[in-house]
Structure 1
């Protein structure tokens, strides 16, 4: 469903916030908190669903992808959004749909620069984004907090106390957003210092934040050039290879990059398009990243300006969501993918408080792609390095941020009415996370027996 289709759906713009909240409160009669917090196992073959996704990826990268996913239960969870999506679709869900990230685990939040060069914190992965029940994002976040916390060796008692607090952070953020005007909700600007104060991050973590901010401020295209490039035998600047992760390849994208770059520019604002007219393409390399997206077609494009400075763009294949890709007999062609890049870009612009001005898309001969600036003041948290106080503060901040993103949709006031002001909601969502984490562990054990034996 596109943003335009959403605006003409069940919720009309002439309903007031009070009316929407009443609709949300009424939804509790259809789906109670207890029902929302219950997990009912689904009869499905986890390896079959994963194999259907693997068929969409580059075969030569699958061994490393399997190794990355096998590192821990949390890593496996990160790489198998299709399993939780399939399970969530079979649960009793609220009738409230909104724009969601679709993969809002704790590792998919991070720091990046706004167009005004301010350091922001927000969601940073939108490959699974679309319109679905709002609680899917919160459930995935809570399960990820539990699995990441267990991977860090935190005690069960502490995690059982934390999960309801994370749900509470989401609930309170949603409440605060509706104490503001519509325009104020549209312009949240998740600046790091403001956001962390709002979500009650302890001052004890100031040193961690200072380190992150200092590292982020050093990450720009010139830093990328120093780290990822070298000179070839003719003295020309080119990307350094590190096979199989980083390789010069001959495929549709690399062979037609000039044509695709021109098409991508047409998806941008006129001022950014004009800016890019001052750059020419110097090199392109296939460069795979992440866990869940590792194995898809990803590239780095090195651009050189008329003044000799550089800009590095990341091109990522815009696969259909895991919901589509995990279906039997799915053949991914440009006819199916042609709007996927636009879907991801549109959803990112809706859900983020501010987005990369270089965010755009184009369609290749057989695949669709989206484009963004690579590593520009971007920094992510190494969850394994967090102590307990830092971890719980970070988890609460992610939940607070998620609610801000959801409040960009017109149905967000229904969420406000549904969740209310009590802790009963928090406790039931936490209960779901504990139950579903057991499902993930079962799937992980099956995966290890099947793939890593």
Structure 2
């Protein structure tokens, strides 16, 4: 029996000509130029209602931090508003061709990270919302994020349009390149440090190369040992996670003794059993570490309030640390519009999507369902807290740098979609011209306008006392 394809769309027995015909036929039904439009639905939900609905299942004392971060700027709001945009995208044109989606493909979710072979890679690195769906949605979320970041930097309309067109052209041209390759060459394609330096950074001159050198050096320093030195201290001869409330709260500071003991038992069980989702060799490696301490950690913007734990593991001795992050996985914000996950748990959904879309994934990436945490069954995925992570700083980018970054993101997203969706049909739909590239410029600008209104709505809700916000 042929296994079900994770993205639910790839026709493995169709010829390349038949797949190309599917893409061309989709143009007639949904013209590429139609993607330029974004018109809010007549009965568009209140964006604050959507954000509050998400908050209802989160840790109550952390929710004000989420609102505080989202009110800081339109871009920070956008980072936490994937659910709002998913509802909006559901009303936009769809080609009918699906791929595995990141679901939250804004520019800061593309970053540097380490491969298991200790090579610096550039890839997507956030899959909390991953599900199969319309490939256009990821491209549109990325494009709008670039416009929002570019507006914050004061770029002109012409500069913003150039950035979006370059990003989408990169996606289109790389998808057409992948359409001409066999399955294995597509699967093996990756963008490592050397490739990025040669093909992207080389266009930015000596200043750009100097910044890239500093960025990669900083990323290499962000590993388990660096996190260990930053986040822990020694108490009575034992390494423990240091408190930095409300962002990092050790378990012993969070709950009374009896409740703490029960929760620590559940978390120990979680880490002990999640190894079953790893390959045999990685499960063996995990088994060489012992559980030493645990703390609750606040992460990101949109994720603030989800249950997230950092677990200190120690290996050969107390100077051989491994810091894991166990993050709650809830239903994807895309699910109401594209269908629920085929996986038994939401943690497995996240991990399966990440492994499918990334060129290479963290060796400790896995999942488990935990019983009794905060009184109910919850799904988690686990990975290393830090492993050579380098994050872009868009506020420091000149237009040429953001344009180059967008070009790299477009290529990376195309590679991820080409692994899971029908790359030949998508490439055929996009074609060799720039119709789709140009269409996404007005879409991104219109959505940036809407995002600014939604951000203001949340600011107004805070001022009126409807919701409470805290800085942290």
Q: Confirm or deny a common fold (TM above 0.5).
A: yes
- 1:167 and 1:430 in contact (8 A); partners too: no
Q: Does 1:402 align with 2:413?
A: yes
For residues 193 and 223 of structure 2, the distance between their equivalents in structure 1, rounded to whole angstroms, comes to: 18
For residues 361 and 178 of structure 1, the distance between their equivalents in structure 2, rounded to whole angstroms, comes to: 33
Q: 1:360 to 1:9 in 2, by over 3 A?
A: closer
- 1:318 and 1:344 in contact (8 A); partners too: yes
- Out of 342, 351, 356, which is 2:357 matched to? 351
- 2:232 and 2:239 in contact (8 A); partners too: yes
Deviation by residue 1:125-174 (Cα, 9 ceiling, x = unmatched) = 00010100000000000000000111122222211222112111111111
Q: Which residue of the partner structure matches residue 246 of structure 2?
A: 244
Alignment of 1:96-245 (within 5 A): 96-195=97-196, 197-198=198-199, 202-204=203-205, 205-232=208-235, 234-245=236-247
Q: Which residue of the partner structure matches residue 374 of structure 1?
A: 385
Deviation by residue 1:327-379 (Cα, 9 ceiling, x = unmatched) = xxxxxxxx999610000000000000111110001111221000001111111
Q: Which residue of the partner structure matches residue 312 of structure 1?
A: 323
For residues 346 and 27 of structure 1, the distance between their equivalents in structure 2, rounded to whole angstroms, comes to: 28
What are the ranges of 5 or more consecutive residues in structure 1 without an aligned counterpart? 327-334
- 2:7 and 2:100 in contact (8 A); partners too: no
Structure 1 SS opposite 2:420: coil
Q: Which residue of the partner structure matches residue 62 of structure 1?
A: 63
Q: 1:7 to 1:77 in 2, by over 3 A?
A: closer
For residues 135 and 8 of structure 1, the distance between their equivalents in structure 2, rounded to whole angstroms, comes to: 14
- 1:337 and 1:367 in contact (8 A); partners too: no
Q: Which residue of the partner structure matches residue 281 of structure 2?
A: 271
Q: Does 1:438 align with 2:439?
A: no
Structure 1 SS opposite 2:380: strand
Structure 1 SS opposite 2:162: helix
Deviates more, 1:5-14 or 1:266-275: 5-14
Q: 1:39 to 1:325 in 2, by over 3 A?
A: closer
For residues 99 and 441 of structure 1, the distance between their equivalents in structure 2, rounded to whole angstroms, comes to: 28
TM-score normalised by length of structure 1:
0.93
- 2:293 and 2:313 in contact (8 A); partners too: yes
Displacement of 1:119: 0.2
- 1:70 and 1:452 in contact (8 A); partners too: no
Q: Which residue of the partner structure matches residue 13 of structure 1?
A: 12
- 1:318 and 1:337 in contact (8 A); partners too: no
For residues 315 and 222 of structure 1, the distance between their equivalents in structure 2, rounded to whole angstroms, comes to: 18
Deviates more, 1:379-388 or 1:102-111: 379-388
- 1:103 and 1:137 in contact (8 A); partners too: yes
- 1:312 and 1:373 in contact (8 A); partners too: yes
Structure 2 SS opposite 1:389: helix
Q: 1:416 to 1:337 in 2, by over 3 A?
A: closer
Q: Which residue of the partner structure matches residue 331 of structure 1?
A: none
Q: 1:253 to 1:153 in 2, by over 3 A?
A: farther
- 2:131 and 2:334 in contact (8 A); partners too: no
Structure 1 SS opposite 2:277: coil
- 2:357 and 2:419 in contact (8 A); partners too: yes
Q: 1:226 to 1:342 in 2, by over 3 A?
A: same
Structure 2 SS opposite 1:103: coil
Q: Which residue of the partner structure matches residue 469 of structure 2?
A: none
- 1:164 and 1:427 in contact (8 A); partners too: yes
Displacement of 1:200: 7.4
For residues 365 and 6 of structure 2, the distance between their equivalents in structure 1, rounded to whole angstroms, comes to: 23
Displacement of 1:425: 1.4
Alignment of 1:327-338 (within 5 A): none
Displacement of 1:191: 0.6
Structure 1 SS opposite 2:391: coil
Deviation by residue 1:293-326 (Cα, 9 ceiling, x = unmatched) = 1111111111111344111111111111124589
